Amino acid sequence: MTTAVPPLTRLANLLRRRAAALVQWFDADYMPEGAAKMRAMPDRVDWMRCIPFIILHAGCLGVIWCGWSPFAVWTAVILYFVRMFAVTGIYHRYFSHKTYSTSRFGQFLLALWGGTTVQRGPLWWAYHHRHHHQHSDDPEDAHSPHVHGFWWSHIGWITSKRNFPTDYSKVKDLAKFPELVLLNRFDTLIPILFAIAIWGFGWLLEIYAPGLGVTKWQLLTWGFFISTTALFHGTSCINSMAHLMGRRRFKTEDDSRNSFILAIITLGEGWHNNHHRYMSATRQGFYWWEIDITYYMLKGLSYTGFITDLKPVPKSILEEAARADHVASVAAARRAALVHPEYSSFRRVVPAAAAIAVATVNAAHITLPRRPDDPAIHMDVTELAHDQARKDLPRSHPPAASNSPDGT
């Protein structure tokens, strides 16, 4: 039998919770009830805590008042990709998996860059991501679409109170750097400064480059709110879609998949099944045709010496991939022949026609030796036949003179 809580106590508890959420907007480690207790709570949206996240989305509506200009739209696009690189190349491939090395100062710069993505601090990101790899698609996974449904895996999980704290004991390799802990704790600081910088840049353009037709509010709306919201949903597609859409090369224990479309949107993260199979490699597209722009950029950065020790995909994994691809192609051929017999002949004809077309094109590049006395093109068929017969005569038929008994 439960004892009734007095109304005044209930009100005091509610106010305390609201006040705590307010402080957490600026100090992510402020948890009066304790981080462990928060993590043990059932999943529930904490609306008060999510107000900054709601403001981020609502800020996109500013476009109704401030309109657009080509400069503002291009700023949004460029900042999307610059910061998508920060999510994938920094938060994911560096802080979460340490797939390359850098100096301590370099690491700090990377953390600052990562902070502009407005996806919380580097340690929070790395902790949750490592947890995802440990528990992929099992009930412990905070954002599995198979366990919690699409929308929860895409956006719901980050609004849940239990997912707010960082478990520093699970990211000890990062928590030993106080500068990273500081950025992680005050994780709204960089986004606020970033938004102010964009607004200030717009203000300068308004004064010194009026020909661009861009205003400070327009640049803030496009460069920060729209670009950041798009960046959030692009990144979230990996949590939701990359475990639902695409091909499974490796039979991993989770349901991760490889998707070209997701790889383009996220600069290479769409090769998620590759990544789940071998998460320590810098590259996630294992072959040249698996476009992985983050990897190309990291490779480029490695030439400057800013980052080093990019980790390759081991030969054994590539061999496993080759075997898996072979098995998959044989299975696909069998399916084409056995399933839907009314289509199977069509499916056989198309690859054959493609092969013939390729062979024909290649044949055009083959240079056969030409005889110097080839007939001129103006000869008609009769002339050609006669000319050919005349030329062939000495070889096929010896001269009549040599046949005479006396040799004359």
Please give the residue ranges that form the binding site for Zn ion (CB under 5 A): 256, 279
Contact yes or no for 309/100 (Cβ under 8 A): yes
Among residues 39 and 133, whose Cβ is nearest to Zn ion? 133
Contact yes or no for 259/241 (Cβ under 8 A): yes
Among residues 79 and 242, whose Cβ is nearest to Zn ion? 242
> CA geometry: angle at 29 spanning 90 and 92, to 5°?
15
- CB neighbour burial string for 341-378, b if at least 16 within 10 angstroms, e if fewer: eeeeeebeeeeeeeeeeeeeeeeeeeeeeeeeeeeeee
Min dist CB 295 to Zn ion, Å, is 14
Two structure tokens written together for 349: 């004809």
Q: DSSP secondary-structure letter at 370?
A: -
Among residues 97 and 216, whose Cβ is nearest to Zn ion? 97
Distance from chain centroid for Cα 160 = 25
Among residues 216 and 257, whose Cβ is nearest to Zn ion? 257
Min dist CB 132 to Zn ion, Å, is 6
Among residues 116 and 284, whose Cβ is nearest to Zn ion? 284
Please tell me the distance from the alpha carbon of residue 250 to that of residue 279, in angstroms, as a whole number: 13
Min dist CB 257 to Zn ion, Å, is 9
Among residues 217 and 278, whose Cβ is nearest to Zn ion? 278
Min dist CB 246 to Zn ion, Å, is 12
Among residues 279 and 333, whose Cβ is nearest to Zn ion? 279
Min dist CB 173 to Zn ion, Å, is 15
Please tell me the distance from the alpha carbon of residue 287 to that of residue 274, in angstroms, as a whole number: 11
Please tell me the distance from the alpha carbon of residue 274 to that of residue 238, in angstroms, as a whole number: 13
Contact yes or no for 348/337 (Cβ under 8 A): yes
Min dist CB 59 to Zn ion, Å, is 29
Return the axis-axis angle of helices 293-304 and 70-85, rounded to nearest 10°: 80
Q: What is the dihedral of CA 293, 299, 304, 310, to 10 degrees?
A: 130
Min dist CB 137 to Zn ion, Å, is 8
Contact yes or no for 217/66 (Cβ under 8 A): yes
Q: How far is CA 347 from CA 339, 342, 344, 370, 406, in A?
A: 11, 10, 5, 40, 71
Among residues 31 and 281, whose Cβ is nearest to Zn ion? 281
Among residues 312 and 398, whose Cβ is nearest to Zn ion? 312
Helix, strand or coil for residue 118?
coil
Min dist CB 140 to Zn ion, Å, is 13
Among residues 76 and 265, whose Cβ is nearest to Zn ion? 265
Min dist CB 101 to Zn ion, Å, is 17
Among residues 71 and 94, whose Cβ is nearest to Zn ion? 94
Min dist CB 143 to Zn ion, Å, is 8
For the chain, how big is the Rg over CA atoms in Å? 33
Min dist CB 248 to Zn ion, Å, is 12
> Which residues contact residue 94 at a Cβ distance below 8 angstroms, ignoring those fewer than 6 apart?
100, 102, 107, 110
> Which residues contact residue 308 at a Cβ distance below 8 angstroms, ignoring those fewer than 6 apart?
100, 101, 102, 302
